[in-house]
Amino acid sequence: MSTETARAFNPRVLLVGLGVVAPLVAVLVMNLGRDPHVIGSPLVGRAAPDFALQPMGGGAPVTLASLRGRPVVLNFWATWCVPCFEEHPVLVGAARRLGEKVRFVGVIYEDSEEGVKSFLARQGSSYPSLLDPGSRTAIAFGIFGVPETYFIDAEGRIAAKHVGPLDEQSLALKLAQAGVTP
Amino acid sequence: MRRRALLVAALLLVGPAVRAQEQAASGDPQGVVGRPKGRALHGEALLARTEDVAGLLRCPVCQGLAVADSPATMAVNMKAQVREMLAAGYDQEQILAYFEHSYGEFVRLQPPLRGVNWLVWLGPVLALAAGGFFVTRALSARRTAAPAEPAPLPGPATLPDDPELARYVRRVRELAYGWPQGRAPGSEA
């Protein structure tokens, strides 16, 4: 007798089961198209955090306010980071080409001054690299790792962020978002 | 000589001030979370609170570790900034809000009570309440239900009304006692 009731269709059991399973499936389906490696930055669209950092090789501190008026490409990098090595020539070339329109600035992330100095002597440079003691500026910009690059428009607003090494295409795309036309 | 001493003294006084100004401009929380709202801490209290607040922050370069628990340089730097902010009088919520401003809600190890996060905090309580409700209801239903009278066993001459049950009883009696048709011989009245 009891086996018969268990076998019978019970709409309440079905309803409770759906109530548990449906939200789980919905969450899974909604996130199917999401790339878990993409980390959005809450800073995009907001004013870039100000900084005052000593450039490599000495000189007056570079502040974000002093760079205003032209879009800024702010590249966080380190010599121990292999992808930074790959993007370095792209950035150096672009800085030479677009120097009139865009300010390129590197911020050194968790690296020694000596290491950076010898790296730049070997690989060449066309824009300043700033020292960031205690990673204060990296933290203010929400850096997760290197390389990460912020594209700041002429008004000091963060227009775009790029995580990972830049190539010519991605650089042109992000520059356009910051209002730089080639 | 005296002039030189004065110059050195002036440099000693001004030097740290200039450095402090530079540091304030790089990653200065005041522009993000306003003036410090709490009491400036120092000594043992500062160290203890630093551990507490750093324990609420997720280390961005680690896998699910708190800033307080991670040896990564990034975490060490973040902890140093937490300590500095506490020493400057920022309260816990201001410090968490400062890091959230650049890293997003991800950086908080405890989801703040807002929006869909209410589900995380209230979900388990609601589930427990619902479960308790169903269990009490089921228990009280069992208690109020009249204790079921055991069905009278059929005597040797009779069979249950339920035809299926009757079929089994008949079969058992045939097998066990050898009664034809499941009725005791001579019991037919």
pLDDT per residue as tens digits for the range A35-74: 766 667 899 999 999 999 999 988 899 999 899 899 999 9
When CB atoms are compared, the residue of A52, A139, A143 closest to B25 is A52
* Angstrom distance (rounded) from CA B3 to CA B9: 10
- Looking at this predicted complex, what is its ipTM? 0.83
Give the pLDDT band of residue B6 (cuts 50, 70, 90).
Answer: low
Alpha carbon distance A67, A23 (integer Å): 49
ω before B60 within 30° of 0 (cis)? no
In this prediction, residue B4 carries a pLDDT of 60
Residue A47 has a pLDDT of 93
Q: Could you say which of A39, A51, A110 has the minimum Cβ distance to residue B26?
A: A51
- Residue B146 is predicted with a pLDDT of 64
Count residue pairs from A and B with Cβ separation < 8 A. 70
Q: Is B160 on the interface with A (CB under 8 A)?
A: no
Handedness of CA A126, A128, A133, A134 (dihedral sign): negative
Q: How many residues does chain B have?
A: 189
**Contact (Cβ atoms closer than 8 angstroms) between residue A180 and residue A101:** yes
Closest CA to A47 of A136, A154, A173: A154
The answer to whether residue B16 scores a pLDDT higher than 80 is no
Q: Is B174 helix (H, G, I), strand (E, B) or coil?
A: helix
pLDDT at B100: 95
Strand partners for A106: A75, A129
The rounded percent of chain B whose pLDDT value lies above 70 is 80
- The owner of tokens 């150096």 is A92
Nearest by CB to residue B22, choosing from A43, A61, A140, is A61
Helix B43-54 with B73-87: angle, nearest 10 deg: 130
Whether A140 and B25 lie within 8 Å, measured CB to CB: no
pLDDT of A53 reads 94
Write the pLDDT tens digit of every residue in B148-184: 666 666 677 778 888 888 888 888 888 888 887 777 7
Write the pLDDT tens digit of every residue in A3-31.
Answer: 445 567 888 889 999 999 999 999 899 88
Cβ A103 vs Cβ A72: under 8 Å: yes
- The pLDDT, as a whole number, for residue B180 is 79
